[in-house]
Chain A
Amino acid sequence: MKDFLVNLLGRENVLHESAALAPYRDDYCEADASDPALVAFVTTTEQVQAIVREAARLKKPLTPRVAGTNVGGLALAPAGGVILDFTRMNRIHEVNDTDMYAVIEPGVTQQQLKDCLKERGGSLTLGYSLAPPHTSILANALLGGLTNRSLKYGDQSQWISGLEVVMADGTLVRTGGWALQGVAPYGQVPFPALTGLFVGWAGTTGLCTKMAFQLWPQHKFNRRLFVLTYSPRGTFEAVRRLVRREFCDDIGGLSWPSAKMMLGVKHPHPEPAPGEPTFILYVDLTADIEEEMALKERMLNDVLASVRRMEERIEEPLDIHMLLKVNPAMSPFAEFPTDLEFLTNHGGGGLSWVGTYGPLSKFEAGIEAGTKIMVRHGFAPMIVTRPMRGGHYGVLRFVEIFDKQNAAEVERVKVVNHELLNMCTELGFVMYKTPSWAFEVLKPRIDPGMLGLMRTVKDALDPHGIMNPGKLGL
């Protein structure tokens, strides 16, 4: 395989020495490290097709990878496998300002597309995940990740309007708007929704080499307001009332440890300080005229006042720019995409989470139970929440940072994540970007018909089992 890759890509685009492969052994999370045999930097669809054909012939596993910022081991290759690094396959093929979509390759990053849209006049925006600016948009979309436009439009997979996929035999498939020649990928067409064969599959059914996806209008005025709340009930009653008024662009909730870490405390005590807010909600408002913004602010205050009448303590909204004047350490939350260095650059190197989607009605119960679990294991309860898709569901995510070199700490993360996953599942939350360990935990609860169909689809699309094997129990 090595000679084939060197011939195809050139020596400079193939890594095989252990020192060069080291960054590909693991990601942020607690998953066991695994040594790939080779890493290949691809830049064209034709190269990917050729590699897949050769891998199928040799029955060599292929694992796609871009930024390496996954926290579930999904881009780790099995020992001896080949990693296809898509970071250099990063062309933006098209931005359609009128029909509001973009066509991008896997290596296109959040920052890259943001800069591109800005250069074009800034009439459009995309949603940004809380992952670093160099994160792949395509990977987040294929894994059903969320962004700061998910309150309005759902997770990023719901914005995909077309995929170009290299199948396990090297053939090329185009889905969505691209299914009909001459049709622009403005949205899903009324054909069978085969894009779904590659969304949420963690690269186990094919390798996506191009994605068309929807962009959203960028408004003239933007305000980010922080609201301090003092109980889960008050927090999520406010969230549920806000989403039904349909005037917020984004509502994010961060539990108190997240704010402390941003302000320089590496390891907050698991218990809050006396009088500490429970959550910090950040509310994004946008408008095209000043009167519209003023009305939205009035509506926000009206909703918060209605929750205060339930005997809940909620502070008045604080503008991010005012907070920045008080303490510039808040700057990571001033603009997205952002690098939350307190998560990725804390010295220990480890970052893990149990991130789930579930109904807003269960958020208080999930937070209460999850907090108890995290505190019992000595973790400050770092929790991230956000209502999605108009409030039909939301994300509830429990985050831990840890020292990857400390075996006992790694073990503690595994234990706490198992408990959190079981608790969340009991309450009706479903883990997204599901790591292999979590899929095994969930397997007994997954409908047997669904599991059987997954296996049938996998066998049909990837008969030699070369596409990111081991993920999703496949």
Chain B
Amino acid sequence: MSIYYANIEQKIDSNISIPRGVMKGKGLFMGNKWLDCTISPGQFTGEFAVQGELFDNTGFSLFATKEDLKFEGKPASDKPVSGFIKITPLMQENDLQLVSLPRPTLENGRSITVRTEHIKEIC
């Protein structure tokens, strides 16, 4: 997947304008991190159904590839596994974080707001 907002210098160099919301945001930081999620088999081979939680405790879901996920074991439809999905943080405010997912959610787009406590930094 393409890396979004991975490096602000690269972004400025390439003349890609920064969304106004991001420019205004407090605590802007860059780099990929990982978000708690639950993973089960997807439809196509190499694809997984991913479920997670937004800041307001409602859910989101999407299909993602293995490269964008971290988990152990083999997810089964009757036995999902806990794991992480790669995200790109966009803007932080208090304990909330606006992040970009590698693919759009089925519910509403690619950018979602989650609680910071659900974000992990994994090497």
A-B complex is real = no
What is A's interface to B at a CB cutoff of 8 Å?
none
